Structure 1
């Protein structure tokens, strides 16, 4: 704590204006609205030549600065998707004029639609800022018709498994934000809710500052949705279907009426994942060895239906309020139909094989009602501001249902069980944030947040009686439960610049009050805990368009409720689960060193990262009954990851862009579950090649190659696999109408295998996704729907820079 306070005092000593003088500077604005334009490509070329001498991107206030250019004559090119290209033929740099101020450069919006602009010029797929990656959603053809999960699939260090679950640098511990605010949902579920067509870009922040929630050891993913600021009605609609019978429709309509803006959106999304499941399992229980082999088809289907509508009202250019209501119905089903063979061996010998047919059915559904409200007030145009928001969410009668049965060859039920988990859930979140600029380059931020989650319900179960041929209630399994977690948070951040240095230091304090009650004797738990989480970000601007940044954050992973539920549930007939009420939070130290270098229009980005985690939470599997295993979450020990991530964005020629993403890291886990602290290590790696081809004026092709290396867990390992995707986008008849045809895993090469080996258990699981999966999506925009530029002239948000 003492060290954190010293760092905060140090950052407040930076009171000088940046001393790195640009040779060329200016401002970029929208000609029709006068709003600043962010992320415009500014390229300087030697006069009479086509090779870029230097390039940069405009900031949130539309400003740009270009340094390290020798005296001479040059030409200037400014371009951005949705705008006409701006050129200035002659720029003369003389010794007598150290800084050339080009003033305001106005870009003319194109009258044609988005799709035509896309094929004329390609926007950068990934934009690197000081401590985050910005993924351009429109530039990912494979995401068309899908959700945020599909956009992230080809992102560096992010992987989507056969079940559609997202992991980042090998972990599912990340927070999801929407437009800078925490999502109602968590993890993969939050990403599955957002249609890709309504996403402007995705921000990945690996070492978040103290401004954000501390949950999530690998950082946060912020989804920036599409908005507009033009007068009149604007909108878009998307629809898709696939050979797996996945289908979906979504739309977004909004209107700007002077001070009032309203929007109305909806989605109907039914993604389906089908695969062939194969598992061989051997358990040893009471000196009886049971070997089972099961194989057959499995099918998972998600249903996401939702409507949302809201308003934004500006009392003045500096003060506004907003409100939104949302209703969402979610349902996830999973069905399995497996052939099952079992043999048993004890001291008397080995039994004859038992042959069964296993049928599994899982259903989880809920209706969610969400209300949001917020306000913002700018005291001036220099960043002095106050804002706040409130969110209330209620899930009415969410139900989790499960049934698993064994049938003999004559289709008679021999064994079976089914279960119901009925509950209600409440989520409350409110925050107030204040920002004060104390100099031309520095500012202070502070804020308060309260977050509460409550769940109340019961769990009941029936088993099949083969003699009476009926189900009966298991009163010994029936359980009621109540869970409530409330977190009060305060934070303070200071940011400033001095010459070539940028610095940001923050500290966040969180008090957690948690109650877990259960009808199971001895399962009640209560937690009261106050913790401090510091963060540090430092940037240094090097000559020749280079940037070096360092970031550190201290974070945690609080266990979710299902990790702690102290009663047995079943995923299928052979796999039981039980929670652990004594599981502890994870605590993570994350360090990252980033280097970025522009070579004209080419870009090289590298990240060296180290993560140390205490009390790692992982799923463990042990024998439970003959042929049946029991899964439970446990604090297995400490783990460490040290690695490097590389990204190269290359313009091969005017019709071919290549993105190369590579990630390799050394992973070690010290397993405290086993005596002696057994260590498991592996070298994990993956690589993605993303090719974007402009074939004709209105046609683009995306070809991706992906390779994912092997990895270890506490009890075993997972094997490597590879796959190739192909997508084609074509403008149809009208500049506002376009279609995308995508082919996933075109060589049918994706195979998922995981092994678990202990003294009394061996389990080998293989999953092969069904092939082929071909998806056709159609998108339509009207009245040139586009995102509005930022209105603030404040550019002091040195690191995360999210001015939502």
Structure 2
């Protein structure tokens, strides 16, 4: 008995000593160039006999913590695809020093041949960081044949309407950054020129920190393209062909051939050698859209012929888009401490649409009763709108590390864009009995503008490590943009001179300071940004048409000094759970499109004109995110509030003698007219969910959705507006690895109805599928067959109406756009890396590699 007790005591003491001799190694891994965290990096603990004893995979934040390591001296080997493997030697764990924190470990882009590594662990589609949500684009197979806007439309917080306009949580005003650099080009235009195949990841930053521009209601969308590669020459080529030939038709009045033909391709190269990295590429895309439009509009006229004038329209509405772009860049590592980067981007855009509509016009009551047949007319109205653009952007960046704890970055960019537009709006007599349009023009409009843009940016950013965890950053940034352009309005029936020109210059001087660090489990970034905006706009023709009793000045100045505080807090509840709180104040300065007093005949029944007296909007944003991991699944729930003061509304009224006699005297028409004005406030309050679900070892599902209350309050033409709706979106993306060569992808997008300042937009839904094939015997080749809008649900409905102070409905407009579907695309991709001799392949399956 005593012997057994003694043996148990000795065994207990031995076990206690052994386990007491265990230590841990931790740290955080960052990209040396971008300073972004590197997730999914492989960390191996190697003993003196070169044997791997422990290992781990870094988290989304680049963090790792390896426990239960016996006391001793080890080496730490860290590797990841596209980076140089780094080995940290002489790491000693002992009784006096059982925990070693490696702090920050910087991985450099690969500059020598590395072993090929295959990560078999399933990568998350979305990840949450302290100041952003990051989405991997490799899972969105159905977007590969398109552009950046097509990829964005897969994300839960982002919506892209059928016209290509992008909005974040209901607002279309946001900044686009390309590889971390801001741009002057209109967001929708830039996104349409970036090939989806060239995108590596997308950051959605709804609450930016102080170092980012304060401009933009929706925040910032940063698109990172594939500009990194391993040692040697890497080549990526892609091609696309698609359409829906079974649905091709020819418009009987214009003889225009409507189709959904699309084709494109691209070539991208990356070359890395020693201390230099070269990259460049060319991408081309052409897409036609086969569509129809129907509409019903009426305006209050109180004419003896009838209370309302009705315009009922229907017809074909084809669209066409053609883009090509080229880019080139070089990164020089001048020494171990400094680097110089130069890049150039060129883009060329042609985008247009035609509206081949038949209009039935008549006087009647609001419900079309008591129709006055003697006043009825029929009109064939071919309306063609083309937009053109040529874009040049040059960037230069210099970065230097003065020591291990401080860094200085200097960046500059220059943009030069030629932008123009041509619009024709012709009216022909139409005979409904014979269903024919005459060749005689009743009246016609020809409109055009040329608005070249020149922009310049300069920034100096300095950061210094205060201690092991805290970093102080501050900087100065300036942004200058100039648009000087002319507008030409031609119509013989309008006697007033409506030609005009503008010269708009906007300079923003900004300075910021932020402080980041951590206290225990709390990480934080707090900052303050100051901006001084100096805007000046000259208008040549001061006798322009206006809806808001403008002063008719020839010069408009706006000088504002603003403070924009921000705060981001991240608290780790456990290894699997964390809370993130973020808040900021932002500004949205009006665009040239909304400011310029250029009068466009957008359709037969609609004019559009800008307002040069528009003022900036101000926003307050707050978000609270709970991020958790349950098994292999991760979930992120974000509650958010966005309040907009001095909000800009897109508003409509009429050109009738009842509401706007001065406008009627000029145009002599009973139609709608649209403009923009600061009319009130808007709020959005709700929640958003991201879920990465590992269904099986060969299937994963990404679900994203939002539910929020959207409210608009203001005064529009004397009528009190208080509209609200419960908005929701639901997006899903399913990936099935059917075999080593076949992959299936299905995604869907459902969006609810939402209110506007004068009506509502209808609900919308679409589903797409893709089958991807990577043959074993054709290394580097990738084939994808895609079906877009497989249920033919690409319908966009818009309802607009307004009342006057007497509660009379002054107009009503109902419109529905139908785009053809389904559409089939075939995509082919080829990648090649010429890095020399191939080395033995290693395979890691998460932590399973380590025993």
Do the two structures share a fold, i.e. TM-score over 0.5?
yes
1:487 aligns with 2:508: yes
SS of 1:254's equivalent in the other structure is: strand
Contact 2:362 2:371 in 1 (8 A): no
Contact 1:42 1:58 in 2 (8 A): no
1:365 aligns with 2:368: no
Matches within 5 A, 1:182-193: 182-193=182-193
Match of 1:261 in 2: 277
Contact 2:232 2:834 in 1 (8 A): no
**Offset at residue 63 of structure 1 (A):** 4.3
1:502 aligns with 2:523: yes
Contact 2:744 2:772 in 1 (8 A): yes
Cα distance change of structure 1 residues 126 and 348 upon mapping to structure 2, 3 Å threshold: closer
**Offset at residue 756 of structure 1 (A):** 0.9
**Offset at residue 82 of structure 1 (A):** 8.3
SS of 2:497's equivalent in the other structure is: coil
SS of 1:379's equivalent in the other structure is: strand
1:566 aligns with 2:610: no
1:518 to 526, 535, 539: 539
1:651 aligns with 2:673: no
**Offset at residue 343 of structure 1 (A):** 0.9
1:665 aligns with 2:681: no
Match of 1:736 in 2: 780
Match of 1:754 in 2: 798
Aligned equivalents of 2:706 and 2:68: distance in 1?
A: 31
Match of 2:288 in 1: 272
Contact 1:431 1:449 in 2 (8 A): yes
Match of 1:781 in 2: 831
Match of 1:134 in 2: 134
Contact 2:242 2:825 in 1 (8 A): yes
**Offset at residue 683 of structure 1 (A):** 0.5
Match of 1:698 in 2: 741
SS of 2:655's equivalent in the other structure is: strand
Provide Cα deviations, 1:610-631, integer angstroms capped at 9, x if missing partner: 1111011121111125452100
Contact 2:23 2:94 in 1 (8 A): no
**Offset at residue 105 of structure 1 (A):** 14
SS of 2:512's equivalent in the other structure is: strand
Contact 1:282 1:762 in 2 (8 A): yes
1:477 aligns with 2:521: no
1:380 to 377, 394, 403: 403
Cα distance change of structure 1 residues 357 and 23 upon mapping to structure 2, 3 Å threshold: farther
Matches within 5 A, 1:168-567: 168-243=168-243, 244-285=260-301, 287=303, 289-345=308-364, 350-352=372-374, 353-382=376-405, 384-396=406-418, 398-408=419-429, 409-463=437-491, 476-521=497-542, 522-523=552-553, 524-567=555-598
**Offset at residue 643 of structure 1 (A):** 0.3
Aligned equivalents of 2:506 and 2:747: distance in 1?
A: 43
**Offset at residue 308 of structure 1 (A):** 2.2
SS of 1:696's equivalent in the other structure is: coil
Moved more, 211-220 or 731-740: 731-740
**Offset at residue 395 of structure 1 (A):** 2.2
Cα distance change of structure 1 residues 263 and 94 upon mapping to structure 2, 3 Å threshold: closer
Contact 2:276 2:330 in 1 (8 A): yes
Cα distance change of structure 1 residues 219 and 66 upon mapping to structure 2, 3 Å threshold: farther
Cα distance change of structure 1 residues 519 and 595 upon mapping to structure 2, 3 Å threshold: same
Aligned equivalents of 2:732 and 2:371: distance in 1?
A: 54
Match of 1:606 in 2: 637
Cα distance change of structure 1 residues 109 and 730 upon mapping to structure 2, 3 Å threshold: farther
Match of 1:716 in 2: 759
**Offset at residue 36 of structure 1 (A):** 11
**Offset at residue 229 of structure 1 (A):** 4.8
Aligned equivalents of 1:146 and 1:22: distance in 2?
A: 51
Moved more, 711-720 or 303-312: 303-312
How many residues matched?
726
**Offset at residue 474 of structure 1 (A):** 5.7
Cα distance change of structure 1 residues 169 and 726 upon mapping to structure 2, 3 Å threshold: same
Cα distance change of structure 1 residues 548 and 56 upon mapping to structure 2, 3 Å threshold: farther
Contact 2:24 2:68 in 1 (8 A): yes
**Offset at residue 59 of structure 1 (A):** 6.2
Aligned equivalents of 2:763 and 2:98: distance in 1?
A: 55
Provide Cα deviations, 1:241-277, integer angstroms capped at 9, x if missing partner: 2202122212211222322222221111223333211
Provide Cα deviations, 1:743-767, integer angstroms capped at 9, x if missing partner: 1221112321111122211100111
Provide Cα deviations, 1:314-341, integer angstroms capped at 9, x if missing partner: 2102111122233322221111211211
Contact 1:461 1:474 in 2 (8 A): no
Match of 1:768 in 2: 818
**Offset at residue 348 of structure 1 (A):** 10
Structure with the greater relative contact order (CA < 8 A, sep ≥ 6): 1 or 2? 1
Matches within 5 A, 1:25-174: 25=26, 38-40=38-40, 57-58=58-59, 63-65=63-65, 122-174=122-174
Contact 1:136 1:201 in 2 (8 A): yes
Contact 1:405 1:417 in 2 (8 A): yes
**Offset at residue 312 of structure 1 (A):** 1.7
Unaligned 5+ runs, structure 2? 1-21, 45-54, 70-77, 84-92, 244-259, 430-436, 543-551, 657-668, 803-808, 836-851
Matches within 5 A, 1:559-638: 559-625=590-656, 626-638=669-681
**Offset at residue 636 of structure 1 (A):** 2.2
Match of 1:796 in 2: none
Aligned equivalents of 1:43 and 1:285: distance in 2?
A: 75
Aligned equivalents of 2:324 and 2:212: distance in 1?
A: 29
Provide Cα deviations, 1:289-319, integer angstroms capped at 9, x if missing partner: 2111111121222222222222221210211
Aligned equivalents of 1:703 and 1:146: distance in 2?
A: 16
SS of 2:779's equivalent in the other structure is: strand
TM-score normalised according to structure 1 size: 0.84
**What root-mean-square deviation, in Å, do the aligned CA atoms of Structure 1 and Structure 2 show?**
3.4
**Offset at residue 349 of structure 1 (A):** 6.9
Contact 1:590 1:611 in 2 (8 A): yes
Provide Cα deviations, 1:471-525, integer angstroms capped at 9, x if missing partner: xx96611112111111111111111211111121111111111111112222421
Aligned equivalents of 2:591 and 2:771: distance in 1?
A: 41
Provide Cα deviations, 1:140-180, integer angstroms capped at 9, x if missing partner: 11121211112111111211111121111011111110111
Aligned equivalents of 2:711 and 2:330: distance in 1?
A: 50
Contact 1:564 1:581 in 2 (8 A): yes
Cα distance change of structure 1 residues 531 and 100 upon mapping to structure 2, 3 Å threshold: closer
TM-score normalised according to structure 2 size: 0.79
Moved more, 426-435 or 269-278: 269-278
Q: Which has the larger radius of gyration?
A: 2
Cα distance change of structure 1 residues 150 and 481 upon mapping to structure 2, 3 Å threshold: same
Cα distance change of structure 1 residues 289 and 615 upon mapping to structure 2, 3 Å threshold: same
SS of 2:452's equivalent in the other structure is: strand
Aligned equivalents of 1:740 and 1:634: distance in 2?
A: 46
1:680 aligns with 2:723: yes
Cα distance change of structure 1 residues 457 and 575 upon mapping to structure 2, 3 Å threshold: same
**Offset at residue 410 of structure 1 (A):** 2.3
Contact 1:82 1:109 in 2 (8 A): no
Cα distance change of structure 1 residues 514 and 697 upon mapping to structure 2, 3 Å threshold: same
